[in-house]
Amino acid sequence: MTRVAEKGNFVLGDEVEMFEEEFAAYSECKYAVGVDSGLSALKLSLLAYDIGPGDEVIVPVNTFIATAAAVTFVGATPVFVDNPAGDYNIDVTRIEEAITDKTRAIIPVHLYGIPADMDPIMEIAEKHNLLVLEDASQAHGAYYKGKRIGSIGHISAFSLYPAKNLGAFGDAGIITTNDESVIKKLKAMRNCGQVAKYQHEYAPYNHRLDTIHAAVLRIKLRQLDSWNVMRRQVAQWYDEALASTPYATPQVSDDVKPVWHLYVIRADDRDGLREHLGKHQIGASIHYPDALHQVGYYKDLNYNDGDFPVAEKQAKQVLSLPMYPHMTKSHVEEVVSAIQSFESVVQPQ
């Protein structure tokens, strides 16, 4: 950080390019482009493939609004798909029924750091000639069948928000891809459309990654794998301690290696349990309280309550327990003890 300050190159300085090279190598990709947020990474990825008005993009209904917002902001229409019972990612068996002659892309989200089932998604995309944009904003360093998340789809978007597994000192994001044809366009669009100074050949957006964030991220990237190992240990402790309780814990396929951005359980009396934990000075959060079709901004898409029954039910049950790399086993035991002391326990259906 001192080096950046002394050099005074605060926008697209050397550290940005170095971080891009390092993150691309880490993600097992050829290219990476740093931007100012995960939402910008999603939006620019769609624009790089000329997705816009009149197009449809398939999006899981159970995700943060940024996934769908990127589609809306390029002028396209998000088409929602439910998730299967017991899983928080997109239901791959329902993707094809959502495809129309307007469909241009699929955005699978690796929610909570648990990879989506990518093989059938890529097969469907190849069959229908669709772009696959991975929303990897919660899955830095995760694996699917031995492949790094962010290297499987045609292009991938990561958020580097401070609370992520790899976070900057403010908003930031990055795009990864093996597709050389879009790199020039991505780098230009993030920087006022410039291919060189004052040569504006592409849409003039301003979505640059600040040099000081890149400097911080380069140092933190070296620790990411070790932090993810620690998160996996915390998740294992939770799994073991909660096995004898009536709460639904995350179900993970043998094909994936999650990074546990969040550890989410389900409970019928979720709000009561959250309040109870708060009385024990244990913070628990809700990710997310509504499926996207129930969010006010998307009411004009004319979906109805009941259209996505799994996501709608889970939205009323999900509770994110404390999860961070340096949690100890005694911390986990304290959380689970407080959960077990909650009297109104009902097994989720």
Whole-angstrom distance, CA of residue 320 vs CA of residue 11: 36
Q: What angle do CA 209, 65, 160 make, to 5 degrees?
A: 25
Largest alpha-carbon pair distance within the chain? 66
Whole-angstrom distance, CA of residue 194 vs CA of residue 39: 21
> Bridge partners of 265?
319
Can you point out the beta strands (E) in the chain? 31-35, 56-60, 77-81, 103-106, 131-135, 143-144, 147-148, 155-159, 173-177, 194-196, 199-200, 256-257, 263-266, 318-321
Whether residue 144 is preceded by a cis peptide bond, meaning omega within 30 degrees of 0, is no
Q: In tens digits, what is the pLDDT along the chain, a chain of 349 residues?
A: 999 999 999 999 999 999 999 999 999 999 999 999 999 999 999 999 999 999 999 999 999 999 999 999 999 999 999 999 989 999 999 999 999 999 999 999 999 999 999 999 999 999 999 999 999 999 999 999 999 999 999 999 999 999 999 999 999 999 999 999 999 999 999 999 999 999 999 999 999 999 999 999 999 999 999 999 999 999 999 999 999 899 999 999 999 999 999 999 999 999 999 999 999 999 999 999 999 999 999 999 999 999 999 999 999 999 999 999 999 999 999 999 999 999 644 444 4
Whole-angstrom distance, CA of residue 165 vs CA of residue 38: 13
- CB-CB contact of 149 with 134 (8 Å): yes
Nearest one of 227, 226, 273 to 248, comparing CA atoms: 273
